[in-house]
Amino acid sequence: MPDVLTSQAQLRCSPLTASPNLNGKISLPVQEAAHAIGVSRSSLYERIKTGDLPSFKSCGRRLIRVAALLEMLDRDETASQRALANASNRALTAGSEAKKAMMSASRSAAGSA
């Protein structure tokens, strides 16, 4: 019978779940989770405190499900892409407005000459 955890990990191919250091773990202590995604421990505790990252206590240890960590990263990536798109749109709009102003100024200068 195939290992259920192995099957679930294969369904979601990501560097975090495919990492040999996780050895099929489904939850991590805060320190390991922080290390796995390259942030500080205090950053994760802040995300836990704000409710952005669900966690639970088991045997006196604060644990984070790998799935919850992946979901948080997906939300962060989506928000980052949205922010880049918005900034790009603002830059295009500002560039277009500046171009219109320059054309108007050049017409005014040509008309007064």
> Which residues is 2 bridged to in the sheet?
none
Instruction: Say how far apart CA 69 and CA 36 lie, in whole Å.
Output: 10
**Low-confidence spans in the chain with pLDDT less than 70:** 1-22, 95-103, 105-113
Whole-structure pTM value: 0.59
> Which residues is 29 bridged to in the sheet?
63
Q: Long-range contacts of range 37-42, CB-CB < 8 Å, 24 or more positions apart?
A: 37/69, 37/73
CB 28 within 8 A of CB 64: yes
62-87: per-residue pLDDT in tens?
Answer: 999 999 999 999 999 999 888 888 88
Residue type, 4: V
Question: At which residue do the structure tokens 């005014």 appear?
Answer: 108
